[in-house]
Structure 1
Amino acid sequence: MDSLCKTNDNSAAEVAALLSPVPVLQVQEYFNQLITSRGCNGIEVKHNGSFGKCVYANSEFQEDELILKDQILVGMQHSSNKMDCLVCSFCFRFVGSIEKQIGRKLYFKNLGLSTCCDGDSSESGEDECMKGNDEQQCGGSSSNHNLPLPQEVVTSLMNGEMALPHTDKFPLPSPLSCPGGCQEAIYCSGSCAEADWESSHSLLCTGEKSESVSRDALGEFIKHANETNDIFFLAAKVIAFTILRYRKLKAEHVKEQAKQSVTKQSLLLEAWKPVSMGYKNRWWDCIALPDDVDPSDEEAFRMQLKNLACSSLELLKTAIFDKECEALFSLDIYGNIIGMFELNNLDLVVASPVEDYFLYIDDLPDAEKEAAEEITRPFLDALGDEYSDCCQGTAFFPLQSCINHSCCPNAKAFKREEDRDGQAVIIASRRISKNEEVTISYIDEELPYKERQALLADYGFTCKCPKCLQDSSVASL
């Protein structure tokens, strides 16, 4: 298997350059520009010798004040969540209508295909629920009758032939099809469709207008990712994103007819820059050994992950290979991209308007509520607790990834009422002073000390926040 993914000698130098640490001044310049473009002027990213990149407040924040909203660099909805939530493939905003969302969910549920919060399977046996913050997890409760509705009723609801009361209070954008003709991607607007096409989807589209080398091979890659670990598709988005940026930079350079020549490697490094800022380690090296794997089997476990990544990469290479960007198809690069997600990413969570709709019905005045529930109650009963299922996925957020962990954090990832897309939202959980580091918790900070440390091992560090130092001293007595 290793021989299949062996790096070509001609691209070895480029692979090394891509994985080399970025000079501190370049990092500072990149994040200064990013902060300005995001309008997050109350923070700055600094390099700390002990902890790498850190986010500091350069103005005071009050409790519950917005610290930053960070746009996704690359993200995806979990494949297991796609039947439960119909969302834009680029910004992850819910699309269609309340009726379509409910009808579609019940349609798949009646077929036995609904997969509420199951996560995705992995040959490695690792937990596929990506790390995030409890504040952004979805939940809710309702009647547990789960009474099935006639399929013709569900179909008419899904197809817009039946209207539920008060859904006009929850308008959703009409879904737009993929411009490449695939059936996998839908969008909330033409601008999202165009942005996704230009950033990565043109290479990863399985439709007739796909710019991939082989649509058949791309289908095999997607099938493999769905059957093993859908994080491979996120890695593919990074490679496609970088290839398309490289092509755009090259075209601009040719058009400008610059007097000073620019090498292929320098263009590739510039295209790779947004990805280079994320902390990386090879996937098979950075994952903590699962509890169900005996330490004596660790080497075999890590080799299994490496071989799995190699199989995925070979399928991707057949599907979208670009000779000028050959270095991106190195197993070392692929492993580091996946490892970057394991070490940096945040849950992508968008609350469902269906939950809001049923809560609205429940809050109506008694007479209106009774009339509305005569129609809506059978649908709520059929959905059961799944009425509140949110969009779930995983994403890499450049600024959020710079925020360090603390078991006594001063900020939290928390979606407000107005936050209806996939952007990361960080809110102050207490007053934050100017020049104070902004921290969030990557785990449930209320867990006992040893459990916290075991969970944080997945991130490759031992927490030495004030709470852990105190708990450690108590534990040693």
Structure 2
Amino acid sequence: MDGFEVRNYNTKKGKGLFATKQYNQGDVILEEDPLVSCQFAWNAAYRYLACDNCMRPLETPEQNVRRLSCKPDIVLPHSDCYETNLENLTGCSQCEVLYCSDACRQRAYDTYHRILCHDTADAQHPIMILLEAWKQMHYPPETTNIMLLVRILAFIQQSSDPQAAALKFKQFCHRTVNEDAELVHKLLGEQFTSQLETLRELTINVINGEYIQEFLSPEGFCSLMALIGTNGQGIGTSPLSMWVNAVLELTMSDDERQQLDLFIDKLYEYVQDESGTFLNTEGSGLYQLQSACNHSCAPNAESSFPYGNHRIQLKAVKPIMPGEEICISYLDECALRRSRHSRQKELAQNYLFVCWCDRCTTEASQPDCTSEEDMSEDEIDADD
């Protein structure tokens, strides 16, 4: 691999991604398509149309903002600055699920869709029953989708070498049975034991076969659920944000720029009033290389989706020297600004590890208490 390599640790940390050459701030380290990806169940239910393979939105920026704001008369200026190519839109000839291109349709069929193709209008189909059960257990904001797990199983089952395909996913697993159970408990909530068994039984109704039996046992299913819960990379795509990014690159006068900024601000006001913060086509995917990136509270790289689909790009946010580990943040920007204790607490709860990155080590002398700005209103009231 040019510029980086995956190395194994001799500890529970598993793997790490290391630079083999120098990267400057802004350099692209890698780009990668996921092994599998999937739109979130509630996201699809709320009419966020997306390619069933690559998650590219299947509407123009203007259609997108009109739907999100419920204002059908909005007209976007400079609409030609971001090209939304929907001319190649196609669907499965049997189930009519939509794809952005024939290439995506064929890729989906070859990797998972041949087994999973079903009548989406049939509420009694095993997949529809599984999806409905999942939605009742996992309300927005979503972090994964049971169909990502199902697509993993279909990927293995459809592969020309199922054993090698299974190994691709086993590389993501390096926890104990108890740790898996703890992670799934976090994902599913208080009723997780009964819910997990329900999901396992419903999944077996959807897909079964010789090469996936180990993943359908109670322990194997728990491990697979923990896998998608911790290694699933969130994916967000938006025609509106892609148009905004493109239009801000245009050359124009200061007056035109000011008017455009005001117009964009107003657009987001309209959208927020109607749709809140639920703006993007959202889902998750499993990435072989990007998943090797460990966490740091002072990351030297960040992931993004510059192509408006599930293809991920990893960029350096500061200089990285040869031999240095390439790290991203598992926490959002808000959480990163919090105290060491608060960051450690969130990472321990959601990822079951104690962070000893350079920043955490430097801040080790900080008191182990949660600062007031990190606490919920209920916690603050309880202390008063």
* Among candidates 33, 39, 42, match of residue 71 of structure 1: 33
Q: Of the two, which has the highest radius of gyration?
A: 1
Query: For 1:322, which of 182, 185, 209 is the aligned residue?
Result: 209
Contact 1:72 1:397 survives alignment (8 Å):
yes
Identify if the C-alpha distance between structure 1 residues 343 and 406 changes in structure 2 by more than 3 Å, giving closer, same or farther. Answer: same
How big is the shift at 1:79? 2.5
User: Per-residue deviation at 1:461?
Assistant: 0.9
Q: Does 1:227 align with 2:190?
A: no
Contact 2:30 2:313 in 1 (8 A): yes
Whether the 8 Å CA contact 1:206–1:219 is kept in 2: the answer is no
Q: Which amino acid aligns with 2:303?
A: A
- Whole-angstrom CA distance in 2 between matches of 1:280 and 1:368: 54
Gaps of 5+ in 2: 139-143, 370-384
State whether residues 34 and 310 of structure 2, in contact with CA within 8 Å, keep that contact through their aligned partners in structure 1. Answer: yes
Shift in CA distance, 353/306, structure 1 to aligned 2, threshold 3 Å: same
1:228 alignment partner AA: M
Question: Residue 85 of structure 1 contacts residue 105 of structure 1 at CA under 8 Å; is this kept in 2?
Answer: no
Q: How does 1:439-450 map to 2 (within 5 A)?
A: 439-443=327-331, 444-450=335-341
1:46 alignment partner in structure 2: 7
Counterparts in 2 of 1:222 and 1:393: CA distance versus 1, 3 Å: same
Residues 84 and 105, structure 1, Cα contact 8 Å, conserved in 2: no
Relative to structure 1, the CA distance from residue 452 to residue 330 in structure 2 (aligned partners, 3 Å threshold; closer, same or farther) is same
Aligned to 1:241: 155
Change (3 A) 1:362 1:381: farther
Q: Is the 8 A contact 1:45 1:53 kept in 2?
A: yes
Q: What amino acid sits opposite 1:49 in the alignment? A: N
* Structure 1 residues 309 and 370, CA gap change in structure 2 (3 angstroms): same
Q: Residue 46 of structure 1 aligns to a residue in which SS?
A: strand
Per-residue CA deviations over 1:341-374 (Å, capped at 9, x if unaligned) read 222222212243456259839976699899999x
Q: Give the structure 2 partner of residue 402 of structure 1.
A: 292
Structure 1 residue 102 corresponds to structure 2 residue 65 = yes
Match of 2:171 in 1: 277
Contact kept, 8 Å, 1:348 with 1:393, in 2: the verdict is yes
> Any conservation in 1 of the 2:184–2:192 contact (CA below 8 Å)?
no
1:435 alignment partner, SS class: coil
Separation of aligned partners in 2, 1:189 and 1:318: 30
**TM-score, normalisation: structure 1:** 0.63
Aligned with 1:349: secondary structure?
strand
Q: Does 1:423 align with 2:319?
A: no
Alpha-carbon separation, structure 1, partners of 2:272 and 2:20: 47
1:377 to partner: Cα distance:
11
**Separation in 2 of the partners of 1:69 and 1:376?**
30
Count of matched residue pairs: 348
Q: Structure 1 residue 348 and structure 2 residue 260: aligned?
A: no
Query: What TM-score, normalized to structure 2?
Result: 0.77
**TM-aligned CA deviation for residue 325 of structure 1:** 4.0
**Residue 284 of structure 1: how far off its partner (Å):** 5.4
Distance 1:273 1:323, change over 3 A: closer
Q: CA RMSD in A?
A: 3.7
Identity %: 21
Q: Is the 8 A contact 1:280 1:336 kept in 2?
A: no
1:474 is displaced (CA, Å) by 3.5
Q: Secondary structure at the match of 1:473?
A: coil
Structure 1 portions without partners, runs of 5+? 1-34, 36-40, 110-148, 250-267, 294-300
Shift of 1:324: 5.7
Query: 1: CA distance between counterparts of 2:113 and 2:17?
Result: 31
Contact between 2:39 and 2:284, CA under 8 Å: does it hold in 1? yes
Counterparts of 1:362 and 1:407, CA distance in 2: 31
Aligned to 2:94: 181
Tell me which residue corresponds to 2:111.
199
Code of the aligned partner of 2:204: K
Compute the displacement of 1:421 (Å): 1.9
